[in-house]
């Protein structure tokens, strides 16, 4: 009887360890599970630490539309990434819808990371939405959003500050929307925010044209004052702009067919892009950018980023045609008419492995 009891205790311990490992990986299959299948697997180590053994601690900040949701799913499928929490805000959709969309995306990915609600409006009190692009629910109006959980109690900004204080120098923020939550955290606790390891921002037009205006990208345009605060705070920031998401990185009709045929998660992502695909086609474009998932891949996949430059980044907040443009002054380049002694702390991604983007994404859903 004693021997049988010991065996039961051992079995329970093994089961508990397995469950904990699964939760820490947010539903990603283990290395052993991956090895037993013939399907290709996505690369999951960090770009600057290819052999990282400890999971990277991340907070994902999102104004959750279809592209944000696809990025959340990608992150949740990575074995070496611990999503400490998702903070949401107004942007693509209003705050409440943003929270529901994030919860639904995490659930379909098998991830139980908490979702915290943050900014319901921008610094200047206005709200910019993209209903015409993503649909009324931000997810293609395809009746996809029925999360079982609710957002966690507490404020997103408090969560960001408390989490960074709990893990100084370890937490990376991957920002997929406007910078309002981050700017609020910087203003509330500037010294605490200096403990962040890095902020990855999908924002700006990079070195190319904008989408909100000829020179401005939507996330910056939604709250230029907040983006300026983030850039001017002296924190380590890596920016992934629109110009890295074009060309071969865009998803084609044929690739959406592949995605929908992949599995339930693939169908969720494909259907959520219905309205934005219509928007692109009405503008004469057959293929669709997915900048948020590409930005996530830049942050999490080794070797995916192919080129960067160190810059001083200046966000224009004047009420002019250049409002929300971010100007990048390149380190090592001598300008004729302006000073050249800037603090070049902002890293701008200039090239990525665009051809591998969709293949990597599809593999991550296995």
Domains of the chain: 57-364 (3.90.245.10)
% residues pLDDT > 90 (the chain):
80
Please, which residues bridge with residue 14 across strands? none
Q: Name the pLDDT band for 339 (thresholds 50, 70, 90).
A: confident
Q: Check residue 341 and give its pLDDT.
A: 85
Mean per-residue pLDDT, 285-290: 96
pLDDT digits (tens, 9 = 90+) for 174-203: 999 999 999 999 999 999 999 999 999 999
pLDDT digits (tens, 9 = 90+) for 217-238: 999 999 999 999 999 999 999 9
- Is the whole model's pTM more than 0.85, yes or no? yes
Please, which residues bridge with residue 57 across strands? 82, 171
- Report the mean per-residue pLDDT for the chain: 88
Q: Name the pLDDT band for 32 (thresholds 50, 70, 90).
A: very low
Q: Name the pLDDT band for 34 (thresholds 50, 70, 90).
A: very low
pLDDT digits (tens, 9 = 90+) for 61-103: 999 999 999 999 999 999 999 999 999 999 999 999 999 999 9
Would you say residue 105 has pLDDT above 80?
yes
Q: Check residue 8 and give its pLDDT.
A: 41
Q: Check residue 340 and give its pLDDT.
A: 81
Q: Check residue 43 and give its pLDDT.
A: 36
Instruction: For residue 216, count other CB atoms closer than 10 A to its CB.
Output: 25
Q: Name the pLDDT band for 53 (thresholds 50, 70, 90).
A: low
Q: Name the pLDDT band for 124 (thresholds 50, 70, 90).
A: confident
Of the given ranges (15-29, 95-109, 195-209, 301-315), which has the lowest mean pLDDT? Answer: 15-29
Mean per-residue pLDDT, 14-32: 40
pLDDT digits (tens, 9 = 90+) for 230-265: 999 999 999 999 999 999 999 999 999 999 999 999
Would you say residue 21 has pLDDT above 50?
no
Q: Check residue 30 and give its pLDDT.
A: 36
Of the given ranges (159-163, 182-186, 187-191, 336-340), which has the lowest mean pLDDT? Answer: 336-340
Residue 335 CB burial class (10 angstroms; 0-12, 13-18, ≥19): exposed
Q: Check residue 29 and give its pLDDT.
A: 38
Encode 117-145 in three state secondary structure.
Answer: ECCCCCCCCCCCCCHHHHCCCCCCCCCCC
Mean per-residue pLDDT, 146-158: 98
Q: Which helix (H) or strand (E) holds 346?
A: strand 346-352
Would you say residue 6 has pLDDT above 50?
no
Q: Name the pLDDT band for 127 (thresholds 50, 70, 90).
A: confident
Would you say residue 4 has pLDDT above 90?
no
Residues 6 or more apart whose CB falls under 8 angstroms from that of 247 comprise 354
User: In the block, which residue shows the tokens 């939507």?
Assistant: 218
Q: Check residue 24 and give its pLDDT.
A: 42
> What gap in Å lies between CA 331 and CA 135, rounded to an integer?
41
CA 318 to chain CA centroid, Å, is: 28
Mean per-residue pLDDT, 270-292: 96
């Amino acid at each position: 009887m004693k021997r049988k009891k010991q065996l039961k205790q051992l079995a329970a311990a093994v089961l508990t360890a397995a469950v904990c490992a699964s939760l820490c990986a947010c539903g990603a299959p283990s290395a052993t599970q991956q090895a037993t299948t013939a399907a290709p697997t996505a690369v999951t180590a960090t770009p600057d630490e290819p052999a990282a053994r400890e999971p990277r601690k991340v907070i994902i900040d999102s104004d959750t539309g279809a592209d944000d949701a696809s990025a959340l799913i990608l992150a949740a499928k990575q074995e070496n990434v611990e999503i400490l929490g998702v903070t949401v805000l107004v942007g693509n959709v209003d705050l409440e819808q943003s929270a529901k969309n994030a919860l639904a995306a995490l659930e379909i990915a098998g991830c139980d990371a908490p979702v915290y609600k943050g900014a319901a409006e921008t610094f200047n009190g206005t709200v910019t939405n993209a209903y015409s692009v993503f649909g009324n629910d931000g997810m293609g109006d395809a009746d996809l959003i029925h999360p079982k959980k609710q957002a966690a109690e507490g404020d997103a900004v408090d969560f960001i500050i408390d989490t960074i204080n709990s893990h100084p120098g370890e937490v990376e923020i991957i920002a997929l929307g406007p910078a309002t939550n981050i700017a609020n955290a910087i203003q509330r606790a500037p010294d605490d925010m200096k403990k962040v390891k890095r902020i990855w921002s999908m924002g700006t037009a990079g070195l190319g044209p904008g989408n909100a205006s000829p020179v401005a990208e939507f996330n910056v345009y939604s709250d230029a004052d907040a983006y300026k605060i983030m850039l001017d705070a002296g924190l380590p920031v890596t920016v992934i702009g629109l110009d890295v998401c074009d060309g071969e990185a865009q998803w084609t009709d044929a690739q959406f067919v592949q995605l929908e045929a992949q599995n339930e998660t693939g169908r969720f992502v494909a259907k959520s892009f219905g309205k934005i695909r219509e928007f692109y086609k009405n503008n004469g474009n057959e293929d669709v950018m997915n900048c948020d998932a590409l930005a996530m891949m830049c942050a999490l996949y080794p070797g995916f980023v192919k080129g960067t430059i160190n810059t001083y980044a200046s966000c224009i907040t004047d009420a002019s045609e250049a409002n929300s443009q971010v100007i990048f002054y390149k380190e090592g380049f001598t300008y004729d008419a302006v000073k050249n002694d800037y603090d070049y702390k902002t890293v701008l991604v200039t090239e990525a492995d665009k051809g591998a983007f969709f293949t990597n994404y599809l593999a991550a859903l296995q």
